[in-house]
Structure 1
Amino acid sequence: MASTSPTAVFLIVCKDVPGIVAALTSFILKEGGNLVDVDFHTDREEKLFLGRVEWNLDTFNLTREALHSALTDLCAGYEGRWELHFSDVQQRVAVFVSKQDHCLLDLLHGSQLQDVNSEIALVVSNHDTMRGVVESHNIPFHLTPITKATKAATEQAQLSLLSTHKIDLVVMAKYMQILSDDFLSAFPNTINIHHSFLPAFVGAKPYHQAHQRGVKIIGATAHFATVDLDCGPIIEQEVVRVSHRDSVDDLVRKGKDVERSVLARAVRLHLLHRVLTYGNKTVVFA
């Protein structure tokens, strides 16, 4: 962790009205909080206010329970939603993967750096390919084979695993399955990596589509998974240049590097509570 002092992180999305920033920061300062980070955005078209405030708790006067109650009162007059998080509460992540290992390996390496207070609590896969790699990191590996006939039952078993392990976030690290409406309704906090610069080349084989189209850049997109395939709110994107000399295999090779970095950044930003969704868009306080 970057700091040994625990912090509180407050996120809000509400109608834009005068005085929100002053009310929030004055409240925190009044109760002895030392502001660490303050960031806001106003969407003028939607007339929405989006904000993130982080402060140290060492000198803060209120208990966490009292803080939640006070924020409830403070935000009662704002039409919207808000969240409160604490940096010393470890977040538990489940990684869903199929046969490709490049995103999984990057996430496993990143988790050992411990610059974010989180842990990969389990890995779920519809293939046994990654078992050895995962178990070598002393992380539970759960094989959940899936077919069209068993999809509903398998997803229920997966949801049970998430509940048992108290999972906060699911990361689809090249999990080559489409999660059902029922799964995402039960667990919407899911990030996916798609191997194109969305909204271009949605769906299967985007590198093949890009090669056929003769594009000069390819990319990757990390987004929240929704019932609409590859259409969820975008968290992070990156591109790399390609040329007419590149084959599909070249595009895949170059794309894998981009996929790793994009997914890792998106997961880190989310775990640091720097991502706010509204409608089908995000504000990322990076």
Structure 2
Amino acid sequence: MTSPIKPWIFTATCPSLLGTVDVVTRYMAASGHYVDEIHSFDDREAKRFFIRIEFTPQSDDFSPEKFAEEFASRAEQFQMEWELTEPNHRPRVAIMVSKYDHCLNDLLYRHRTGQLNIEVPVIISNHPDLEPLAKWHDIPYYHLPITAETKPQQEADVIKLLEQYDIDLVVLARYMQVLSPDLCRYLDGKAINIHHSLLPGFKGAKPYHQAWEKGVKMVGATAHYVNNDLDEGPIITQGIQQVDHAHYPEDLVAKGQDIERVTLFNAVRYHVQKRVFLSGSRTVVFSN
């Protein structure tokens, strides 16, 4: 079935109870809403149910207010927390970056070509290097240098910018700074970070060179929500690729950056499309 009307997104979570799928799908059918895509998951450990539906109203006079009024009593029976997202919702995303440009470049390209349905009203960096790239895209660029002594004021300035630009999501596109606990709390659940995933764990300068010296056989990347545990927030996406003895350090860097780009893009895309649910320290991700 096709329709010129673009789909709405319904997301919900509630305790694990009999009839959770039925109460949603029965309402959709009774109200004349065609279900284009549906995902659900019941977490036995957390005793929590999650559901995401893309649906197309079959009449031109669809009213989200009427939907909310009619569905509220049904949701209340299941203690259901739910949200309705309109077609072409475009979250306002701030990108934070240091000197590496591969993730920033990729996000801006996908934004420009429509692969990411977002607005990027501001880019924030602790270095001036990538300002020309921001100017080419006609996006305001703020250089906020940081030292141990100026870190509290710098992070306060970051928060001011996020509030000034009414930001919905922050993407750390290789922002090479450890965020303070206060900033992590402020960004809890609304900031995504990307970092390399190498085993054994290689920290500090030139991790790919360290990995090459140990003869690693795979490289990868992890995108996760920011919290106060360094690089240990709830994971959204991961990528991996095998390598061997013929890959030199520069080859590992190139492959690693490729994986970082795609992994971060998918994490942002899933978040924007309401495909990610937080479940304690874990995530439920309805990928497509």
TM-score normalised by the chain length of structure 1: 0.90
Q: Does the 8 Å CA contact 2:12/2:51 hold for their aligned counterparts? A: yes
* Structure 1 gap ranges (5+): none
Q: Does the 8 Å CA contact 1:95/1:171 hold for their aligned counterparts? A: yes
Q: Give 1:147's aligned amino acid.
A: T
Q: Give 2:263's aligned amino acid.
A: V
Q: Identify if the C-alpha distance between structure 1 residues 166 and 40 changes in structure 2 by more than 3 Å, giving closer, same or farther.
A: same
Aligned pair count?
283
Answer yes or no: is 1:204 the counterpart of 2:213: no
Answer yes or no: is 1:280 the counterpart of 2:277: no
Q: Does the 8 Å CA contact 1:14/1:50 hold for their aligned counterparts? A: yes
- Higher mean alpha-carbon deviation, 43-52 vs 95-104, is at 43-52
- For residues 189-200 of structure 1, what are the structure 2 equivalents within 5 Å? 189-196=190-197
Q: Does the 8 Å CA contact 1:196/1:207 hold for their aligned counterparts? A: no
Q: Give 1:24's aligned amino acid.
A: V
CA distance in 2, matches of 1:84, 1:245: 51
CA distance in 2, matches of 1:68, 1:152: 42
CA distance in 1, matches of 2:177, 2:58: 45
CA distance in 2, matches of 1:233, 1:204: 22
Q: Identify if the C-alpha distance between structure 1 residues 165 and 247 changes in structure 2 by more than 3 Å, giving closer, same or farther.
A: same
Alpha-carbon RMSD across the aligned residues, in angstroms, is 2.2
Q: Does the 8 Å CA contact 1:128/1:143 hold for their aligned counterparts? A: yes
Which residue does 2:144 correspond to in 1? 144
> Quick one: percent identity of the two aligned structures?
38
CA distance in 2, matches of 1:4, 1:271: 22
Q: Give 1:196's aligned amino acid.
A: S
- CA deviations 1:184-227 (Å, max 9, x no partner) are 22222001111115x86275354345334432111011111111
* Structure 2 gap ranges (5+): none
CA distance in 2, matches of 1:10, 1:16: 18
- For residues 210-249 of structure 1, what are the structure 2 equivalents within 5 Å? 210-249=211-250
- CA deviations 1:119-169 (Å, max 9, x no partner) are 211111010100011111111111111111111111111111111111111
Q: Identify if the C-alpha distance between structure 1 residues 112 and 58 changes in structure 2 by more than 3 Å, giving closer, same or farther.
A: farther
CA distance in 1, matches of 2:9, 2:47: 23
Q: Does the 8 Å CA contact 1:87/1:117 hold for their aligned counterparts? A: no
TM-score normalised by the chain length of structure 2: 0.90
Which residue does 1:75 correspond to in 2? 75
Q: Give 2:143's aligned amino acid.
A: L
Q: Does the 8 Å CA contact 2:202/2:210 hold for their aligned counterparts? A: no
Which residue does 2:114 correspond to in 1? 114
- Higher mean alpha-carbon deviation, 241-250 vs 9-18, is at 241-250
Q: Identify if the C-alpha distance between structure 1 residues 253 and 89 changes in structure 2 by more than 3 Å, giving closer, same or farther.
A: closer
- For residues 147-162 of structure 1, what are the structure 2 equivalents within 5 Å? 147-162=147-162
Q: Identify if the C-alpha distance between structure 1 residues 263 and 4 changes in structure 2 by more than 3 Å, giving closer, same or farther.
A: farther
